[in-house]
Chain A
Amino acid sequence: MGKVIVITSGKGGVGKTTASANIGAGLAREGKKVVLIDADIGLRNLDLVMGLENRIVFDLVDVVEKKCRSFRQALIKDKRFANLFLLPAAQSRDKNAVQPDQMKKLCDTLRDNFDFVIIDCPAGIELGFQNAIAGADEAIIVTNPEVSSVRDADRVIGLLEAEDKTNPRLLINRMRENLVKKKQMLGVDAVTEILGIDIIGIIPEDEKVLFSSNKGEPLVMDDSSRAGKAYRSVVRRLIDPNATIELQIEENGLWAKLKRIFAGGNGVFGFKAQ
């Protein structure tokens, strides 16, 4: 029995698709059998970020409408990992083409066939969002350390709670530690204090995120990338909730820990490949 995890945020452009691609590829890299679902019907992009855009034959809507024999026919096998698959979104349809109960059914089917089902949720809180979360067991909320995305994240947390999806975890993306040091950016502790949910990882701002999407290659494969390393630690934590990673919230306060890490200068936020 696999786990269905939705990657959501409310606000657009915070890095949901990048996070989905990297978490999916990272899990596959750890040997897990993973399927990525692009739930952003009409605005599909996960295929492009994954470099799989030329292989699409069937899509999510075809599966739901049973235009293909089974979901397997629509799955695109990743170039790099044999155990990573993508179920792309339909590009010529809109969000109304799928209903939450259909998504739920699909997730239940996929859960039996994969270790992880990662759903890339569209921006917004309308039907597309409702579809994406319908079948999810867990949610990862992506936010940037910036007022509008944090506010939207709070809204999404409320909506998830209303659907009995408690315990979402927070992924803070595009963190710039030098600005946090200068107190010109919301820090990790500020964001977690405001939103009041557990954190699963912090991804530093990294231009390599752009380079990797240019090439269509997930960042987790790049060992020299700071963001890639950060995604790998997120993946470790998904596999083992007790995995000790450097940026865990401790009782003695994250801020103190961060300071220590900065002072020690051993990597970004102390992320070390363990």
Chain B
Amino acid sequence: MFDIMEFLNRIFKKNGNNGGSGEEAKERLKLVLISDRATVAPHVMESLKEELIQVISRYMTIDTSMMEMGLERKGKEVALAANIPVIGMKRNNRKESMEGAPPIASKPEPAKPAAKQETVKPVPKAEKPAKPPVVKPVVEEIEEEEEKPAFKQTVPVKNEPAPPAMEQDSDEDEGDDDASRSRKGKKGGRRYLARTSTSNSGRRTSSSRRRS
């Protein structure tokens, strides 16, 4: 039976020059090790997240409690996917960026508790970020999401085009309290983000205006 399959494969050049199962093994291993290495060292992802927050906070006010980031795998590619809800834009961003700790811009909407923004503080490597103190019910968040512009970036880890946003959760940080908390709001955020990402050109620039 296998011989027949092999014979057919050979006829149809399925196992041609660019690889039999050995090649496939190599590709699969490379992919699985990307997520293995990230999962095994959650502090790496955590410090990457913290640094991203710092950089983005120079330009925008973001909702770090709703932010989610992780490696997503679809088919033959692994991508670093980040969903970062934007609350507002900053005007004189460059100046502020020079002042060490990312500043917290005055919020356009007082609905969010101030403490939430504290998570933006630079956190030393390998240290857990402060927990967002308040997690609101999902229903409420979905309503809010409707108005909130979002910054969505998907960076392919390999040199390949970014895969489309996926619905399923990536499962690093399993068992982490912070992670499970942030997951509560995931559905709402995703739904919204998926929508914006289809037609997001121009939205980012107009976001602060829309808000006020």
Contact = CB atoms under 8 A, between A and B. Distances in A.
Contact of A184 (B21, B29, B32): B21
A45 B108 CA distance: 69
A151 B40 contact: no
Interface in A131-184: 146-147, 150-151, 154-155, 158, 179-180, 182-184
Contact of A186 (B15, B22, B33, B36): B22
A186 B28 CA distance: 11
A192 to B, nearest CB: 11
B37 interface: yes
Given A158-B41, A183-B15, A190 B22 contact: yes
B4 interface: no
A185 interface: yes
A150 B37 contact: no
Interface in B113-131: none
Contacts of A183: 15, 19-23
B139 interface: no
Contacts of B33: 151, 154, 194
A122 interface: no
B5 interface: no
B11 interface: no
A151 B32 contact: yes
Give the interface residue-count category, chain A: 10 to 19
Interface string B16-30: 000111110110111
Contact of A154 (B20, B23, B36, B41): B36
A146 B19 CA distance: 15
Contacts of A150: 29
Contact of A194 (B22, B23, B29): B29
A187 B36 contact: no
Contacts of A194: 26, 29-30, 33
A187 B32 CA distance: 18
B26 A155 contact: no
A155 B29 contact: no
A146 B25 CA distance: 8
11 contacts: A146-B25, A151-B29, A154-B33, A155-B36, A180-B22, A182-B22, A190-B22, A190-B25, A190-B26, A194-B29, A194-B30
Interface of A: 146-147, 150-151, 154-155, 158, 179-180, 182-187, 190, 193-194
The 10 closest A-B pairs by CB, nearest first: A183-B20, A184-B20, A190-B26, A183-B22, A185-B22, A147-B25, A186-B25, A184-B21, A184-B22, A194-B29
Given A184-B22, A185-B21, A194-B29, 11 more contacts: A154-B37, A155-B36, A155-B40, A158-B41, A182-B22, A183-B21, A183-B22, A183-B23, A184-B21, A185-B22, A190-B26
